[in-house]
Amino acid sequence: MRIKKISLAGELVRSLLHPSPEMTLIIRDQLVNPPTWFASFRDLTLYCHIFLRDDIVIESEDPDPYYRWMRSRGGMDFVEDFVRPGAEDGVHLDIEHNYPRTVVADRIAPENVHSLIQLIRRFRGAA
């Protein structure tokens, strides 16, 4: 009986330290570039990764230049990977409405981070 309690406790600790993702947030590659404020991009990805437990991916046809640019600035800290457009299901953050459950924005900046988070939370519930 004691062995079972230890394994259940270990499983609980593992689930708290490494929770399974709730959903995938897909960010269009063009929203990484200016006029997006990179600090606001990091704030958004940090919040969605930590508090919403989302997997965050960048949707791009050509990920190499974005990866190099983002990695040198710490932009990959909360981003899991790059995906091809349309390859992943989840909430999209895009510059135009291309998919269901799309949050449309022309940039990520201090003045719209909170409203983007609210919209992302609202679309997560529409699964």
3-17: per-residue pLDDT in tens?
444 455 555 555 555
> Quick check: is 11 in a domain?
no
Give the model's pLDDT for residue 124: 81
Q: What residues contact 74, with CB distance under 8 A and at least 6 apart?
A: 42
Q: What is the pLDDT along the chain (127 residues), one digit of tens a residue?
A: 444 444 555 555 555 555 556 799 999 999 999 999 999 999 999 999 999 999 999 999 999 999 999 999 999 999 999 999 999 999 999 999 999 999 999 999 999 999 999 999 999 875 4
pLDDT at 104: 97
User: CATH no. for residue 104?
Assistant: 3.40.50.1000
In whole angstroms, how far apart are CA 104 and each of 31, 45, 97?
10, 16, 6
- Does some domain include residue 7? no
Range of the domain at 72: 19-124
- Structural domains of the chain, count: 1
Q: Is 7 helix (H, G, I), strand (E, B) or coil?
A: helix
Residue 1 lies in a domain: no
- The residue length of the chain stands at 127
CB atoms within 10 A of CB 80: 15
Q: Is residue 14 part of a domain?
A: no
